[in-house]
Amino acid sequence: MTIQDLRTQNLILFEVISGSKSFGLNTPTSDTDIKGVYYLPKEKFFGLDYIPQISNETNDEVYYEIGRFVELLLKNNPNILEILASPEDCILYKHPLMENLRMEDFLSKLCKDSFAGYAVTQIKKARGLNRKIVNPMPKEKKSLLDFCYVLPVGTSRDLSVHMSVHEAIPVQNWLMSNSFDKSHIGLAKMPHMKDMFAMFYDENKTLGYKGIIQKESSNEVSLSSIPKNEKLVGYLSCNQDGYSKYCKEYKEYWEWIEKRNEDRYRDSVKTLHATSQPQNYDSKNMMHTIRLLQTAEQILSTGKLNIRVSNREELLDIKAGNKEYDDLLKMADNLIASIEKQYQTSTLPEKPDEEKAIQTLIKIREELYS
């Protein structure tokens, strides 16, 4: 099913403008995010085709099946609670049955972990984005050879005047200095030495050596059978762990390049370079981190949830990158300490009344399918 199917079949129960516009943090360049709740046609709900969530390709329009929506409310999921708490001017449509889902039936002390835990995730994302911006990775992927070094057993022809025999040399440099072909190399394991190999060279390629690697995309070196009394030319150290880590980071980086929001990326780069001391964080994520923590503090202290912020200028100042990362971390620590204190004295229940929520959901479904 698609969002258009929900509309044409009149399956939408709740539809709101969410995100920055509902928080009161929108600017002229802000996108319009739409969230909603729907119910499935009777044959799909009672059959085998249960669909818990429907979204568009960019994920800025997301709709939750009523049962999934209640399930997430019971967990005090921040995004779902914020949908239910949407200000009146952001509600596009509300079916009368949605009046049965009352905020006071779901707010609980679970918000401490659900909101604060999500905030910690945002902090990690903020630092991760900066690493990608500041440390771009070349498109040409390195091979395992770039993580291999040689300790010669004698001086190399061209490098002998520059380094001693005890210095490790990048394998590519060592091969070049000796006019060696990597496919003529034979490697043998060295007992009790992890990722270290004895190296031999077959100038005429008559001994069946397999070379250092089979092909450029190889993930491990090749081992050969070495005849007795062959002359040792050096020792190869292969940083297999380093290569594995690089491959993972390379994959993550170029997947991020492919999927990133270009407008958001340009804003982040602009923030990083607009100040004399570029910030080492994604300022938009940090703004939402602080907002989430402030929301958790509000819920625990008042027992209510009002998502329209009262400190718009402060939060937009964070988004603009005008705050030092360490200062924001201190601010977050203070909020977390306050949340812990409010948690101890809060009159909210430990968790929502699940049985009551289930009965409410059953009542809604019975009316929808009657």
- pLDDT value of position 121: 72
| Per-residue pLDDT at 273 exceeds 50 | no
Helix 283-302 with 111-134: angle, nearest 10 deg: 170
pLDDT of 272 strictly over 70 = no
Q: Does residue 90 have a pLDDT over 90?
A: yes
Q: At what angle do helices 325-345 and 111-134 cross, to 10 degrees?
A: 170
Q: Which CATH class is domain 1-102+352-370?
A: alpha beta
| Percent of the chain with pLDDT strictly greater than 90 | 67
Q: Average the pLDDT over 155-163 and give the result.
A: 42
User: What pLDDT, on the 0 to 100 scale, is given for residue 253?
Assistant: 80
pLDDT tops 80 at residue 89: yes
Q: Is the pLDDT of residue 64 over 80?
A: yes
3-state secondary structure at position 16: strand
Section 153-159 average pLDDT: 52
Element housing 22 (H / E)? helix 20-23
Residue 21 CA to residue 89 CA, distance in Å, equals 10
Give CATH 3.30.460 domain extents, the chain: 1-102+352-370
- What tens digit of pLDDT does each residue of 212-257 get? 998 888 889 999 999 999 999 999 999 999 999 899 888 888 887 7
Residue 154 CB coordination number (10 Å): 11
Rounded CA gap, 199 and 180, in Å? 12
pLDDT of 155 over the 90 cut = no
Q: Which residue has the higher pLDDT, 321 or 267?
A: 321
pLDDT on residue 166: 59
- DSSP code at position 145: G
pTM, rounded to two decimals: 0.62
Are 148 and 238 within 8 A, CB to CB?
yes
pLDDT band at 263 (very low <50, low <70, confident <90, very high): low
- The DSSP bridge pattern shows strands 91-94 and 169-170 to be unpaired
Distance of alpha carbon 243 from alpha carbon 217, whole angstroms: 11
Mean pLDDT of the chain: 87
pLDDT attached to residue 235: 95
**Mean per-residue pLDDT for 146-167?**
64
At 102 the pLDDT is 97
Mean pLDDT over residues 130-145, rounded?
75
Strands, E, within the chain: which ranges?
12-18, 33-38, 53-55, 61-65, 91-94, 148-152, 169-170, 185-189, 196-201, 232-238
Residues 66-94, mean pLDDT to the nearest whole number:
97
Question: What's the average model confidence in pLDDT over 68-92?
Answer: 97
Q: How far is the CA of 85 from the CAs of 14, 102, 188, 214, 267, in angstroms?
A: 12, 9, 66, 60, 29
